[in-house]
Structure 1
Amino acid sequence: MKRILIVTILLSITFSSCAEMQQVINQFPQIQGIGGVDVSGGLKEALNNGISKQVTKLTATDGFYKNEAVKILLPDELKKVDSGLRKIGLSSLADEGLKVLNRAAEDAVKEATPIFVNAVVNMSFSDATTILMGNESAATQYLENSTSTALYGKFNPVIQNSFRKVGADKVWSNIITKYNNIPLVKKVNPDLTDYVTNQAMQGVFKMIAVEEKNIRTNLSSRTSPLLQKVFAMQDHK
């Protein structure tokens, strides 16, 4: 892109008339694209593709639990709970505790997908061209940075409901009670809803980034004329 801009400047010096200059510029569609292509719309389409093609994978059974990239593990505070339960012969309960955290996230993302779609539709890119020319997940990072606080407020109640729906609240109430009854252990009372909310959101953004990278690096992933035009500009940076 820098090389093209330098050529354009040199051409503007070489050609005396605006007509001559425009005739030559027309041979460089990527330069026209900066002003003539809906870059913001292309970025939004890429993010929406990430939601429709990648985030929906998280809503399936084991969508989180068997995806090592996004699987929700126990926070440090609960690792001692896991270890303590296994020492007293409750390994199956410890395993179930980890699984239901991921089940809650899978259910919640299914319910919350419209929240993420709405966030993309309504977001305003402050500098769409800069984001387009950024790294392989620049648009996803922009979405995460500009919407996380608002999304958390909407997503957290969905997680709470999913905890009840998949029975995670009962499982973890049982786990915490059994652990706190072990002699000499320091009692725990973790906020698992907050933890799973944050972990689930991180998983969503990771999966959106996967699709953004696909579109940036794989021509066959540009499945619409707009995506093809917008990301062709990136190819020539």
Structure 2
Amino acid sequence: MRRVFIGLITVSALWATTAASAQNWGDRVKQMVGGMNGQASADASARGLPQSEVAAGLKAALADGASAAVTQLGQTDGFWGDAALRIALPGWMGRASSMLRTAGYGDQMDALQLSMNRAAEQATAEAGPIVRETINQMSMADAYRILQGSDTAATDYLREHSGDQLASRFQPIIERTTAESQAVARYEALTSQAKPMLKFVPGLNLDLNDYVTQQALDGLFAVIGQQEARIRANPAAAGSAIARKVFSTTSN
């Protein structure tokens, strides 16, 4: 994670240096961000990069990635259209899929799975304000810890600080959507019909709405993590104005 944001803050310098001088620009960056914990604020100011703008640049890069994730998933086929993110049938049903299809429940299972993914898409579309508020509330110390943190520090921060609030926001949307689509009714009917065949299979009494909520959250943070990796691999991909300002200032 440290390399991601160090790369973000020093992208212009990277273009102007060679591999032989990597240690030099690395030292300059350490001096600049050291101001965030009281070690080199004078140097940061001398470069025209106040601590507040360093933090703002980090927030902007994180906001860009999170916004892209919400946009990607919060539209029709955001989950359903991506095989890697599509919400699977609940565990017991997935494990017994072949048996249930052979018994004639295939169409019902397909309709149930589609309804679950549509519910997740509608819920995720509402995630933006909560994610933005969480990022806005990030302190200077939070930004510095993310800068110095693990490869998933930004994503982990968002999940820790917004996960519960997002779950609370998602749950009623998912409940309403699954009720309108009769997904819960389908699930309960299938469960009831399958019990004689699957009485020894665990998880038959799973709460479908809780399941979809957790799967939606997992998908959202997985894509935020992918966006984080994209910025990590290509710092110039962080397109916010404040982030570009940070990049250009550090190349001076």
TM-score by length of 2: 0.70
| Structure 1 position 216 matched with structure 2 position 232 | yes
Correspondences of 1:42-53 after superposition (within 5 Å)? 42-53=57-68
Alignment match, 1:87: 102
Contact kept, 8 Å, 2:61 with 2:239, in 1: the verdict is no
| Structure 1 position 38 matched with structure 2 position 61 | no
Q: Give distance in 2, aligned partners of 1:226 and 1:144.
A: 24
Alignment match, 1:78: 93
Which aligned segments of 4 or more residues in structure 1 are displaced greater than 4 angstroms?
A: 5-8, 229-235
Unaligned runs of 5+ in 1: 9-21
Alignment match, 1:193: 209
Q: Which has the larger radius of gyration?
A: 1
Correspondences of 1:3-18 after superposition (within 5 Å)? 4=27
What are the Cα deviations for residues 118-141 of structure 1, in whole angstroms up to 9, with x where unaligned? 333334463312312444532121
Instruction: Find the residue that maps to 1:63 and give its secondary structure.
Output: coil
Q: Give distance in 2, aligned partners of 1:195 and 1:233.
A: 46
Q: Give distance in 1, aligned partners of 2:250 and 2:187.
A: 48
Alignment match, 2:170: 155
Output the amino acid matched with 1:170. A
What are the Cα deviations for residues 37-95 of structure 1, in whole angstroms up to 9, with x where unaligned? 52332232223222332321112222112213322123433334534321312222222
Q: Give distance in 1, aligned partners of 2:210 and 2:183.
A: 14
CA 1:161 to 1:123, structure 2 compared with 1: closer, same or farther past 3 Å? farther
Q: Give distance in 2, aligned partners of 1:44 and 1:38.
A: 10
Contact kept, 8 Å, 2:64 with 2:239, in 1: the verdict is no
Q: Give distance in 2, aligned partners of 1:100 and 1:49.
A: 29
Determine which of 173, 176, 181 is the counterpart of 2:188.
173
Output the amino acid matched with 1:196. V
Output the amino acid matched with 2:105. L
What are the Cα deviations for residues 86-120 of structure 1, in whole angstroms up to 9, with x where unaligned? 13122222222222211111111123433333333
CA RMSD across the alignment: 3.4
Unaligned runs of 5+ in 2: 1-5, 7-22, 32-41
Q: Give distance in 2, aligned partners of 1:143 and 1:55.
A: 13
**Offset at residue 216 of structure 1 (A):** 3.2
| Structure 1 position 116 matched with structure 2 position 131 | yes
